[in-house]
Structures are given as C-alpha cells and as structure tokens.
Chains A and B, each alone.
Chain A
Amino acid sequence: AQSVSQHNHHVILSEAASLELGCNYSYGGTVNLFWYVQYPGQHLQLLLKYFSGDPLVKGIKGFEAEFIKSKFSFNLRKPSVQWSDTAEYFCAVSGGSYIPTFGRGTSLIVHP
C-alpha cells in the first residue's frame, strides 16, 4: 500500500515570502507524484506532476517541486508567493497499479 503525509496543515505567509510545503510518501517502488491546488470555492486542479526524468519539476503559476527519492519526498516550492496563492494544496502519490492517494492537504493563507 501507499500513504502520503503532509506535515504542514496550516501555513500563513506575507506576500513575497518564499514557500515550501512538505510531502512525504511511503511506497517502495516507482511512483508518480502530483501536487494539486484548490482555490477557495473551487475544485482541485493539477499544479504539477512527476513521472520520471528530471527530479525538479516546474508547474503552473511559478510553482516547482523536487523529487528526492532517498528521502521519499516531493516538496512544493515557490520563491515569492502572492495573495492569489491562498488555497488548499494537496500532494498525491500513485505507485505500481495503485490509484493516487491524497494527503490531508495544507491550507495556505497569504496576507497582502
């Protein structure tokens, strides 16, 4: 089986601050990794994904994530957040034939 852990449940930042959201997973084999974002009142949308290749993945809206296999981690980063980044962020992992498992989510509030 697989599982996902998002360490930060709530993050509050000021505009222009840097962001890093932690995501760790447990699965022994090859994995596909995802970050989704849910803006207030909206549905989940894919921010970025990693299947293979360069472990540094760039997504939409200036987000990036780094896959570190030895640490079973896929942390999400953004160098300078904006008020419009206020949202819930979900990490998800799928390994083998398993469908993606989602983490509990991290609520990000960015103050202008």
Chain B
Amino acid sequence: DSGVTQTPKHLITATGQRVTLRCSPRSGDLSVYWYQQSLDQGLQFLIQYYNGEERAKGNILERFSAQQFPDLHSELNLSSLELGDSALYFCASSTIPTYEQFFGPGTRLTVL
C-alpha cells in the first residue's frame, strides 16, 4: 500500500459523458501527478500540481482538466468522453517534485 488512494476503482460510462476521478496523496506529499496508461500509448504524463498550483503539463487534452484542493486532494475531470479515452488513470504523489513518486491503485475507465 503506497498511501495514495484513488476513487473510484472502476468507471463505466458512455461517449459524450463527463466523469471525475479523485486522488488523495500520501500524508505530507505536496505534489500530485496524473497519468494515463493504455495499451497503445503506454504511460503518459498528463499534469502535475504542487501545493494547489499547476506546475507541469504533459499530453493532456483540452477536454481534460484537473485541480488540487487546499486539503491537497486532486480531481481529474474528463469531459466529452470518447472511446479512445478508455484507459487506466493513475495518480501519484511525491514530497519533492524530482523525487520518487508513489502511485495509487488507479481508476479503470471504460467508455462505451
């Protein structure tokens, strides 16, 4: 158990819908990262927050957005969902951005 929690574990929805994935980092970690993992694209970095502020952006679509709240939990919002958005979404946290990351169990999103 890494100490990072993610909810829900599984999410099944339809194209065009909007979903919110939630992540709670390890106690004391200020940095939160979101990744998308699919068979064809591998592990893709989406976005990083540090103490409530966006710090780095990766291959995140405009239909996706994220935020980190004052209690440091983070939410990833995915809208206008397409079949290709079906993937595992991981959240990770770290104390210092350049240090090792601790990954949550992931949310498996299926878009039908």
Interface of B is mostly: strand
- Min CB distance B30 to A, Å, is 13
Residues of B within 8 A of A104 (CB): 42-43
Distance between Cα atoms of A105 and B38 in the complex (Å): 12
Docked complex: A23-47 residues within 8 A CB-CB of B: 32, 34, 36, 42-46
Residues of B within 8 A of A42 (CB): 105
- Min CB distance B43 to A, Å, is 5
Docked complex: A65-112 residues within 8 A CB-CB of B: 90, 94-102, 104-105
Are B98 and A100 in touch, CB under 8 angstroms?
Answer: yes
A99-B33 contact given A43-B90, A45-B103, A49-B100, CB 8 Å threshold: yes
Distance between Cα atoms of A56 and B96 in the complex (Å): 23
- Min CB distance B6 to A, Å, is 9
Distance between Cα atoms of A18 and B37 in the complex (Å): 28
Are B98 and A32 in touch, CB under 8 angstroms?
Answer: yes
Q: Which of A43, A100, A105 contacts B105 (CB 8 A)?
A: A43
Residues of B within 8 A of A46 (CB): 100-102
Distance between Cα atoms of A34 and B105 in the complex (Å): 19
Residues of B within 8 A of A45 (CB): 2, 103
Among A34, A94, A95, A105, the one with the most B-chain Cβ atoms within 10 Å of its Cβ is A94
Are B103 and A43 in touch, CB under 8 angstroms?
Answer: yes
Q: Name which residue of chain A comes closest to B31, CB basis.
A: A99
Residues of A within 8 A of B52 (CB): none
Since A42-B105, A99-B55, A99-B56 are in contact, a sample of 7 more A-B pairs with Cβ atoms closer than 8 Å, ordered by chain A residue number, is A43-B106, A44-B92, A45-B103, A46-B102, A101-B45, A102-B45, A104-B43
16 example contacts (A-B, Cβ-Cβ < 8 A) are as follows A32-B98, A32-B99, A36-B103, A42-B105, A43-B103, A44-B43, A46-B101, A49-B100, A90-B43, A94-B97, A97-B98, A99-B48, A100-B98, A100-B100, A104-B42, A104-B43
Enumerate chain A interface residues (CB-CB to B < 8 A): 32, 34, 36, 42-46, 49, 90, 94-102, 104-105
Query: Which 3 pairs show the lowest CB-CB distances between chains A and B?
Result: A94-B98, A43-B103, A44-B103
